[in-house]
Amino acid sequence: MPRLDFPYRGLEESGRNYPKIPMVLFNPEDSAKQTRILGLVDTGADITMLDSALMLPLGMETDQPADAPLGGINTEAPIKGWERTLIIGLGTDTSPELFHPNGLDPVPVIFVEKPNPQLIGRTNFLDRCQLTFNSWVGRLTLEF
């Protein structure tokens, strides 16, 4: 079972450290179209939510956004977004090798305008991992 350890990283606006992981996002129709991000692990999120600005380097069309199926804290106004799927690979700071906790199954994501930070949710990604949060030492361990 592969095991990856990630140090907690800071969020600029808060000055606190959180479990953020380096990821590579791939267009499932053209793996040459990819981009790297740091994603905040959010075990309370059903779906991964990313900045719509990432759609351009991933070669995805940005037609008119539709009401995105999001719930949670802000349920007063519908959120506009683009539902897509991506292949997600986990990277590390020290290795170019990528790890795919869910094999190469596409992960459903919603692109929205300026989510801050990029939230990595459970559906078809985190739910394929065993996560261990160690706030005392500021590390997240993923096993899959």
- In the chain, pLDDT over 70 holds for what percent of residues? 86
Q: Please write the tens of the pLDDT for every residue from 61-93.
A: 888 777 766 655 555 666 778 999 999 998 876
- In DSSP notation, the chain reads --EEEEE-EE-TTT--EE-EEEEEEEETTEEEEEEEEEEEE-TT-SSEEEEGGGGTTTT------EEE---SS--SSPEEEEEEEEEEEE--SS----B-TTTT--EEEEEESS-SSPEE-TTTTGGGSEEEEETTTTEEEEE-
